[in-house]
């Protein structure tokens, strides 16, 4: 199977400027997803809005709505020490450029090294702090998009310190008249989508798909990460394999227990995330993501949604790891199903239930229990793959090292 080429987001109809992906891969995206049924989660039932209670909102990504939400924050974004507002246009930022950001002791002299990715509203660069030698990411947005930095501040405030590193972190924001610049952490070993395509390209591997124990392990990590976001009432709203990055910890990790938080996977690009604490209790949404392959089954069926869009994103990401292709979904007699042939997969019953659960959610008040799904995967990993998982991960590490792009 040939490795698909990822279409440029410039050709897609945008949800809004904030909905653009900041780390665009050169690989092709998955195809659309379809779904399964769920068990209920007590804590999520408490946190999730009750669609039956009313409070429908159309578009959580509307530019005017976002501006109004930012204007009503108890702590204005511009008053935060990490947020710098400049009464001038943004400096020219391009590879090989040397720029200065900040004032006084916080001023940084930065050398821009290379483009990591670009979309219609953002370009992401790899850069280096010339004083410390620390590599970083610079996300440049035109027009400016301070919302993502708001989400960053909420992750800092609401997440437990031991899980904050599981999500991208921006150390500072610089807001100019014509755009915005975010400075953040660099994760240098590519995305899950890149990893999937490395298997497809490797001549030394048999079926050229990610091994079952690695898929299960990474799925277990993903479920835990999304669970942490939902506990603090944040909907990511753009979960896909190219928004999971592999970092240094992944290359060094030798502990694969379910409670190990240093697994090296990081969820990025929260620019279209939804902060449910800024909406009245009971709010649900009716807007549709304009990129059809990423519309959750509620959007496809014209039903209200909240956290369901993230469950759909989990299903699509796992489908990509299992089959090496993007997920597509169809509705058969009221049941959403994927295009994946699970009968040929080990533990087919588990995967059928997994996808059915994530794609066939009854309503906004009956969300699946991610910790239950994670526990089931952990049990199968322990019983069937305890000895195989370390070797399988090491082979992936070798692939990542051999194919790591050099950005000097």
Q: Which of 143, 119, 125, 147 is nearest to 272 (CA)?
A: 147
**Inter-residue contact 157 to 167 (CB < 8 Å):** no
H or E segment to which residue 175 belongs: strand 170-176
What does the block give as tokens for 177? Answer: 């008249």
Distance CA 198, CA 200 (A): 5
Catalytic residues: 238
The predicted structure's pLDDT at residue 203: 61
Domain ranges of the chain: 13-60+189-402, 77-184
Residue reference for tokens 């940084």: 108
For 295, residues 6+ apart whose C-beta sits below 8 A from its C-beta are: 32, 288, 289, 312
Note the pTM of the prediction, 2 decimals.
0.84
Torsion of CA 188, 402, 381, 225, to 10 degrees: 10
What does the block give as tokens for 408? Answer: 């000097």
Break the chain down into helix, strand, coil percent, rounded to 5: 40, 20, 45
Domain 13-60+189-402 sits in which CATH superfamily?
A: Transferase(Phosphotransferase) domain 1 (1.10.510.10)
Distance CA 387, CA 408 (A): 38
Equal CATH topology for 13-60+189-402 and 77-184? yes
DSSP strand E in 270-313: where? Answer: 274-275, 284-285
Residue 163, number of CB atoms within 10 A of its CB: 17
Burial 220-238, CB ≥16 within 10 A → b, else e: bbbbbbbbbbbbbbbbbbb
The predicted structure's pLDDT at residue 277: 96
Task: List the chain pLDDT tens, one digit each, 408 residues.
Answer: 434 333 222 222 222 322 222 223 333 333 333 222 223 333 333 333 344 344 677 899 999 999 999 999 999 999 998 999 999 999 899 999 999 887 776 778 999 999 988 877 789 999 999 989 999 999 999 999 999 999 999 999 999 999 999 999 999 999 999 999 999 988 878 899 999 999 988 766 666 899 999 999 999 999 999 999 999 999 999 999 999 999 989 998 888 888 889 899 999 999 999 999 999 999 999 999 877 678 999 999 999 999 999 999 999 999 999 999 999 999 999 999 999 999 888 899 999 999 999 999 999 999 999 999 999 999 999 999 999 999 999 999 999 998 886 654
Domain 77-184 sits in which CATH superfamily?
A: Transferase(Phosphotransferase) domain 1 (1.10.510.10)
The predicted structure's pLDDT at residue 120: 73
């Amino acid at each position: 199977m040939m490795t698909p080429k990822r279409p440029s987001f410039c050709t897609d109809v945008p949800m809004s400027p904030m909905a653009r992906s900041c780390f665009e891969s050169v690989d092709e995206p998955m195809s659309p997803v379809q779904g399964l049924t769920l068990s209920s989660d007590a804590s999520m039932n408490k946190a999730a809005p009750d669609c039956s209670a009313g409070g429908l909102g159309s578009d959580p990504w509307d530019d005017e709505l976002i501006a109004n939400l930012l204007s009503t924050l108890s702590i204005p974004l511009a008053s935060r020490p990490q947020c710098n507002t400049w009464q001038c246009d943004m400096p020219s930022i391009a590879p090989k450029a040397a720029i200065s950001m900040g004032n006084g002791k916080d001023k940084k002299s930065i050398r821009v090294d290379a483009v990591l990715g670009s979309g219609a509203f953002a370009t992401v660069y790899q850069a280096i702090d010339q004083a410390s030698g620390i590599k970083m990411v610079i996300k440049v947005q035109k027009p400016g998009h301070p919302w993502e930095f708001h989400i960053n501040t909420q992750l800092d405030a609401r997440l437990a310190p031991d899980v904050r590193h599981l999500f991208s972190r921006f150390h500072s924001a610089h807001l100019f008249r014509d755009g915005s610049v975010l400075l953040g952490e660099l994760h240098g070993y590519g995305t899950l989508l890149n990893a999937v395509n490395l298997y497809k390209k490797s001549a030394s591997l048999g079926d050229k798909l990610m091994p079952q124990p690695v898929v299960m392990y990474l799925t277990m990590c993903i479920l835990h990460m999304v669970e942490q976001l939902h506990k603090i009432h944040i909907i990511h709203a753009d979960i896909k394999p190219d928004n999971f990055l592999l970092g240094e910890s992944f290359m060094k990790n030798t502990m694969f227990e379910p409670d190990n938080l240093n697994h090296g996977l990081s969820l990025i690009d929260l620019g279209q995330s939804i902060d449910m604490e800024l909406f009245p209790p009971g709010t649900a949404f009716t807007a549709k993501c304009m990129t059809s392959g990423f519309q959750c089954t509620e959007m496809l069926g014209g039903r209200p949604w909240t956290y369901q869009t993230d469950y759909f994103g989990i299903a699509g990401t796992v489908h990509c790891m299992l089959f090496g292709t993007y997920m597509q979904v169809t509705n058969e007699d009221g049941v959403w199903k994927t295009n994946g042939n699970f009968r040929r997969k080990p533990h087919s019953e588990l995967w059928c239930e997994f996808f059915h659960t994530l794609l066939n959610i009854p309503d906004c008040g009956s969300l699946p229990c991610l910790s239950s799904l994670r526990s089931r995967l952990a049990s199968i990993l322990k019983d069937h793959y305890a000895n195989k998982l370390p070797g399988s991960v090491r082979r992936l590490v070798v692939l990542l090292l051999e194919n790591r792009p050099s950005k000097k």
